[in-house]
Amino acid sequence: MQNIRNIAIIAHVDHGKTTLVDKIIHASQIFRENQQFQDLILDSNDLERERGITILSKNVSVRYKDAKINIIDTPGHADFGGEVERVLKMADGVILLVDAFEGPMPQTRFVLSKALALGLIPIVVVNKVDKENCRPDEVQESVFDLMFNLDATEDQLNFFTLYGSAKDNWMGPDWKNPTDSIFPLLDAILEYIPAPKIEEGSLQMQITSLDYSNFVGRIAIGRVKRGKIVENQQIALCKSDGTIKKMRVKELQVFEGLGRVKVAEVPAGDICAVMGVEDFEIGDTISDPDTPEALPRISIDEPTMNMLFTINNSPFFGKEGKFVTSRHLRDRLYKETEKNLALRVEPTDSEDKFLVYGRGILHLSILIETMRREGYELQVGQPQVIFKEIDGVKCEPIELLVVDVPQETAGKVIELATQRKGELTVMEPKGDLQHLEFRIPARGLIGLRNNVLTATQGEAIMNHRFSAYEPFKGTIPGRINGSLISMENGPCTAYAIDKLQDRGVFFVDPGDDLYAGQVVGEHSRDNDIVVNIQKGKKLTNMRASGSDDNVRIIPAKKFSLEESMEYIQKDEYLEITPKSIRMRKIYLDENERARMAKKES
């Protein structure tokens, strides 16, 4: 039996998890000296690199002294909580990473509560002690308070704390005396994280993750709980509906460094990849064919938001994307549910529309962004919060919103949050910032980030996580301004935009190709109006002095994908193609819009 440690690294987004894993990888000398590599080795996905966040959990392993340490890097966003919940099942302990200035944040609480509930032993690392204004000792105390509030056991509360800076490559027991390496952390892992508990009995392994290879198809990844798994062995797959399927293991691989190596057998306690298992889902159990026993399923928090996904039926359909039909859309969405546990897809009464349920705007936008990069064209409707009836009362999801904001703009943030039924629960100074905590309906968060960033000149730091379902809080005012809608098809002109600037703010630039019914701007009033943005200047050979000034246009307002999703109204779609994101009315024809509005009222 090898000397093994299985640890997950958990932290709030941007507290330095992936950087710390980088340093551990370098310290264990996995790379040859002349090998080239980038920073943030594990954030290998393009989207992760661009946004600077971890979206998918990853496995690596390092060798230190006579032990093998399997490390699982997890996402920090609560929107990707499904990823965290399933991979924590593979770990025996966690490294809780906390920023020495910010301290425990809402999503630290979220992932930590999951780890403590599974009985995992924590090591606390107070990172970024090189930051100015940092307060490592206070942060360590607040972590203790947080664990106490989360009902940690005596063993869990008796955690070991290290201080350091992953960026500067050091860790140590005292933040005032920096060491010169990251090895104290690896020593602490061997000392404080227990080796896997091995139960007596026949083979049991729960599938907690999956990979895909063009050569062997789907690969099941998980930790062997008891017994051992051997190449060419016959196994039983226990599925969610209670059925048991017999199959044979074709190949086994264990994690070594950043890759995987083929092995003949894997003992209990180690994490491995199994080829040859077909038709499995995450949460299924691989067990002995003679005495098949299923492990308890992985429980995942329910989705709190849904969106309508439909095929692109705009006049520009099929111009930019490869995959445009409802069959393409259906296959891609159902394929995503295989590995994205927190996502659910339901068909509607229409063949080309699907309801997709997720954890929040970010969770759904990452799926949409991934699809458009793969060449899909689609349209999505306004995000809707999922209501539930509990004991005969209509309830809605309530989120805990945390905002750190400069003192002088705190009043504006409180005003914006309370307008959306937010309830201020905590207000205290934190360094030179004001720390505000609200309980706010999830509906109230849609579109709030933009307004808060505008009101605070971009200086607010906002985080939120799901708290609980509570009775419905009443109507929340949505977007106050109406839309400017294009009247005709064709490119817009600078002349027309110039003449219409007093009507509102435009989202398009001169020369952009538009179609009738496309939303081209925000009206300065609360109603929608149709504008002729394609009108050109009448050319004559007469010139009047003074009337031919140069056209001066305010730059177009551009939205990111998440901002657009939060911006659209109930009667609008977001058209998403590999090259463009356009807002449009569901009914492009003005008369049809008026008819439908009458029908609804």
Other Cβ atoms less than 10 A from the Cβ of 431: the count is 13
C-alpha dihedral over 563, 569, 570, 573, to 10 degrees? -60
Q: What is the DSSP string of 153-193?
A: -HHHHS-EEEEEETTTTEEES-TTS--S-SHHHHHHHHHHS
Handedness of CA 437, 439, 441, 442 (dihedral sign): positive
- CA separation for the pair 243, 279 (Å, rounded): 12
Residues with Cβ within 8 Å of 42's Cβ and at least 6 positions away in sequence, in order, are 18, 21, 22, 54, 58, 60, 73
Other Cβ atoms less than 10 A from the Cβ of 601: the count is 5
- Cβ atoms of 112 and 150 within 8 Å: the answer is yes
User: Is residue 430 part of an annotated ligand binding site?
Assistant: no
Residue 181 Cα distances to 67, 134, 167, 178, 559, angstroms:
19, 21, 11, 9, 44
User: Is residue 127 part of an annotated ligand binding site?
Assistant: yes
User: Is residue 129 part of an annotated ligand binding site?
Assistant: yes
- CA separation for the pair 533, 554 (Å, rounded): 15
User: Is residue 306 part of an annotated ligand binding site?
Assistant: no
User: Is residue 155 part of an annotated ligand binding site?
Assistant: no
Phi, psi angle pair for 274, to nearest 5°: -115, 125
Looking only at the bridges linking them, the beta strands covering 204-213 and 285-287 are antiparallel
- CA separation for the pair 556, 514 (Å, rounded): 14
Structure-block tokens of residue 274: 């199994």
- Cβ atoms of 222 and 271 within 8 Å: the answer is yes
- CA separation for the pair 588, 230 (Å, rounded): 61
User: Is residue 128 part of an annotated ligand binding site?
Assistant: yes
- Cβ atoms of 231 and 249 within 8 Å: the answer is yes
- Cβ atoms of 222 and 272 within 8 Å: the answer is yes
Nearest-CA neighbor of 289 among 228, 232, 245?
Answer: 245
User: Is residue 363 part of an annotated ligand binding site?
Assistant: no
Interior angle at CA 516, CA 515 and CA 519, nearest 5: 85
Annotated binding site: 14-19, 127-130
Annotated binding site for GTP: 14-19, 127-130
